[in-house]
């Protein structure tokens, strides 16, 4: 009997070693290292990035990992000057371009990757006397931060349904004092636009409903005395990095299904830094320095499980995610190259409610749950402990 119990515990230990927290993912470079690559964006099996072409400046390149001839490589834009900061939704890429001497926002239609069609969102050059940077896109809406003459940054959005008839409008709060604050780092999901805003003296997360166009309903979703920066949004979830001083950033999330009463909690709270979060569905990724270098970590908002994605001793930074596809900048090769992986297994488990017997919260009941139960079957859980007898 004792031998049988020992065998159960041994089996439990082996099964526990296969848990989601120890999952290793196979990673791939988008290309063999040749030119410096940065700022990946992903959607629908495609990855785009900015690539340093030397004297020709930065250009936007991409790869389709799921097409009939995958992988299919393509060039989004190779204008003479710099194209940077790409964002991607389906077959549209937005990016900033300095062909006219300042940063402007362009859109490229890559439905035919062999013949991308690019255009300036606002065709009137007089509207582009200042910098427009950090573009975001979802559906038929693009947004960016716009530097006005006063030197502050404001958020501007555009309906880009018709390439030759884009409708551009400012995303403004009703209080006039807000016009002298800075709004930066926009992110979009359907009609919800979020950004970081320093109207209250530090960086907070704000939101607006874009369906209201020129009179968007807006509010602060996180307004503590700490710094909240780099927001990302998907559905009723927003994530951001929060500074607790001395660069100790942690990753926070909020369920905003009730915008009047958002439910906020920490995804990871650690003495190391966690920055640059991204979200797709119920999966969040970020870069994390807890191991002495930058690694990519993830979190499942349904199972509430954290997992490590990269383990290489070099730095992995600036992650992006779409579904189970994750891409990032990787310094294991010289120059820095975009790498990617497909998440799989327990870490991406998705179930609407907790299953009976699902001890490890991976949305299924299997031998791993049995092993966990077997490992603890002789443990007394009475309170106080003096109630337990040998």
Domain boundaries, the chain: 25-348
CB count in 10 Å sphere of residue 219: 15
Tokens in use for 232?
């990302």
pTM above the 0.75 mark? yes
pLDDT for 271: 86
Kindly list the averaged pLDDT for each block of 10 residues, start to end, along the chain of length 390. 38 37 81 93 97 92 93 86 96 94 92 91 66 96 86 90 87 59 94 91 89 66 78 96 85 88 88 96 97 97 94 97 98 96 92 70 75 74 61
DSSP letter assigned to residue 305: E
pLDDT for 35: 95
CATH node for 25-348? 2.120.10.30
pLDDT for 214: 58
The sheet with strand 305-308 has its strands ordered as 274-280, 283-288, 295-300, 305-308
Q: In whole angstroms, what is the distance from residue 301 CA to residue 311 CA?
A: 22
| Contacts of residue 134, Cβ cutoff 8 Å, sequence gap at least 6 | 85, 96, 144, 145, 184, 185, 186
Q: In whole angstroms, what is the distance from residue 191 CA to residue 208 CA?
A: 8
Ordered alpha helix ranges (H), 253-356 = none
pLDDT for 124: 59
pLDDT for 150: 65
Per the rule left: phi > 0, alpha: psi between -120 and 50, beta: everything else, 91 is: alpha
The sheet with strand 249-255 has its strands ordered as 227-234, 237-243, 249-255, 263-268
- What letters, b where the CB count within 10 A reaches 16 and e where it falls short, cover 269-281? eeeebbbbbbbbb
Evaluate whether 32 touches 71 at the Cβ level (below 8 Å). Answer: no
pLDDT for 175: 52
């Amino acid at each position: 009997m004792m031998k049988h119990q020992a065998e159960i515990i041994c089996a439990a230990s082996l099964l526990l070693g296969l848990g989601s927290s120890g999952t290793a993912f196979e990673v791939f470079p988008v290309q063999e290292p040749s030119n410096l690559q940065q700022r990946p964006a992903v959607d629908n099996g495609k990855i785009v990035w900015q690539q340093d072409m030397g004297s020709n400046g930065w250009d936007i390149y991409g790869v389709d990992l799921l097409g009939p001839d995958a992988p299919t490589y393509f060039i989004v834009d190779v204008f003479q000057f710099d194209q940077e900061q790409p964002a991607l939704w389906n077959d549209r890429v937005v990016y900033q371009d300095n062909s006219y001497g300042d940063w402007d926002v362009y859109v490229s239609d890559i439905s035919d990757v062999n013949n991308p069609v690019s255009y300036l969102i606002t065709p009137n050059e007089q509207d582009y006397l200042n910098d427009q940077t950090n573009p975001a896109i979802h559906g038929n809406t693009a947004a960016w931060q716009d530097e006005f003459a006063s030197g502050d940054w404001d958020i501007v959005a555009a309906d880009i349904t018709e390439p030759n008839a884009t409708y551009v409008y400012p995303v403004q709060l009703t209080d006039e004092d807000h016009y002298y604050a800075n709004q930066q780092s926009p992110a979009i999901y359907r009609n919800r636009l979020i950004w970081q805003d320093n109207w209250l003296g530090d960086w907070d997360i704000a939101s607006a409903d874009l369906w209201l166009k020129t009179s968007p309903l807006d509010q602060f979703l996180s307004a503590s005395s700490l710094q909240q920066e780099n927001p990302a949004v998907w559905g009723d979830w927003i994530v951001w990095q929060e500074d607790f001083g001395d660069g100790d950033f942690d990753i926070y999330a909020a369920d905003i299904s009730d915008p009047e009463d958002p439910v906020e909690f920490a995804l990871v709270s650690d003495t190391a830094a966690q920055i640059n979060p991204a979200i797709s569905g119920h999966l969040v990724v970020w870069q994390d320095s807890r191991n002495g270098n930058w690694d990519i970590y993830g979190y499942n908002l349904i199972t509430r499980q954290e997992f490590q994605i990269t383990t290489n001793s070099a730095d992995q930074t600036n992650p992006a995610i779409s579904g189970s596809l994750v891409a990032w900048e990787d310094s294991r090769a010289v120059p820095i190259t975009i790498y990617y992986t497909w998440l799989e297994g327990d870490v991406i488990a998705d179930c609407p409610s907790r299953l009976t017997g699902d001890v490890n919260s991976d949305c299924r009941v299997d031998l791993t749950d049995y092993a966990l139960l077997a490992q603890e079957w002789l443990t007394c859980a009475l309170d106080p402990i003096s109630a337990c007898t040998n």
